[in-house]
Structure 1
């Protein structure tokens, strides 16, 4: 019991710090960029990041969860075969992504009316090689229930990039889009080298490619791959459609609301990282009841932390936007208020996908995400045409509600989960916090 508690405390703390630092540096970088870039160039930068993120997710989604799941329960000899198969498959997919990035560069720069994007995509294609290795290293650490190296490399990667734009604003140096890409490339290469020192004790490969393990990884990963791609498309295509149908500036305004939701969403990301390997083990050892408890308790903890933040930001949306982005982005205020309405569904959806993947139901997760993503894309097209930039926010809210209903139905059928139980756990969280910290201080 003590070992288990240590795992949750240590892993939870590291991942919470990692997600906090990730959102902090991302938010700090955003705060500087909206001040050193024009609204058009900031919008172009968000479109570029959305595109390369999709490419990264396409590659990572095929192998990432499969590698963690199988390595976590494999023998030392099997781990060698898994690693060789994983690196081989990742290498092939990486080169396919590079070809797609180079092939689409000119077309994307044309539809988004930003010529600089073509060169940016050409340059970033080199970063895919280093990021492929980095992702593999991070997965290997997680499979061994280690998170320190993942934390260090993620923080350092963002710190290097942030240092450049901080220098730009302090010394009033114009921030060029092309130099932002250069700093992305440099940071990825540096942290990949550092990550190697953390995972080298686990880097043992077989001399031959195992067709059996290659097939297992692909069979498991194909649905996780589809889920990742559909999920990231659902989360970024609204911004891309705004850029093409309206302007890069409209995309940038919506991105500001999305970034604030990401700031609130730190606990969800942290919890999802540590729940996946733990859920895989509990499902094998203790069965569905243990996984049900894990899901409801983790969602409850996230809700308890999220709700106060959501209420505060909703009540003071105009003040928050003015402080964070300045007067040039007043259009983001109503966008943020609508985005906050669907923020409460995020813990349910994220943890549902994590739990279903961990118990081997990746096909179901894939189908749900494809339906939600397709609905989101269709609604975005209709709503943006009729409502303008606000249409993207309302489309995302509607698709999130539909996704929430589907996920809860599937989880109830598989694990007998309840929508209400997470809120009961959230209330217990407040009660325990009050009794432990407030009442005790009053008595003293």
Structure 2
């Protein structure tokens, strides 16, 4: 390597170090900018979120059995397009209850900044079918989909339960775990807001995994179906029939959605922070190695002619291995290999050659059994001549 090439290589290292410093500054500035809250984020806890709200059943279903009884594929079997729903002993219908609660839930979610999409806008229509309801949330790429219902269980059973999807390979793989977290959040806030206990006749602590519900199986976004209580039970029926109480029901569901989305954002933030930290550690390590490489390369020794050359021993092998593996230092590999090879005499090889001795000493060593005195004399000559031999070997350039 000529002196000009050595200077060019050192300039390359300096420029790379300067780039590292500039990138460090930009990354810290961008991190500060991304962490500063935007004006839209101050509008509400659900700003920028999309929520799908499904009010189960519909008021006109009972008059059109030919429509609602049509079979729909729900992946695990065939089910009716829709059903009429249940009612209390006093005749208060589930579809009316569902629509009332859904309307108040939409109002609360929108006031929290969310964009809300719904499956129906009135309570006197027919359908839509369960697959079409699931598609509403899917097309909107909703963050959450919630379906409002009331159960028609045994009259001696009481409480709410929340249905969540189970794993169906190739279909619900991505939504099972987030749906489980959503169900648990809503179960807690719903019980706190309404005072209605978890169901004592179905599910476990208010959670009921199902593989036969089309609204769950066909969803591609986190989804739950909330059975707000048992309309066949007198205590639950009294609460569910009270329209003033519907606000507490909607509040409990909305609070659970907010808690879930905030916790999901926290989890994403933690993962982002972990990977950013991991990247910065690797990045800083490469920059430190680059600086170390520059310092080692700039450390010089004198060749026999008095010219400064990089000392190969100063290129630590760990640094060379990192260069060989690739990454930010890989661009320096040709230069580093050339430096390690050395433009002049290989001093380490010269030292090894000198220590191994000259031919006279080796010949004497082979004949030491026949003439020990001659071997000692040859070794003595070698000790006295060793400095000259090392110098000759260095000047010869390791030939």
The TM tier, using the shorter chain, reads under 0.3
TM-score between the two structures when normalised by the length of structure 2: 0.25
Q: Which entry has the higher C-alpha Rg, 1 or 2? A: 2
Higher helix share: 1
Task: Between the two structures, name the one with larger relative contact order (CA 8 Å, sep ≥ 6).
Answer: 1
TM-score between the two structures when normalised by the length of structure 1: 0.23
Higher strand share: 2
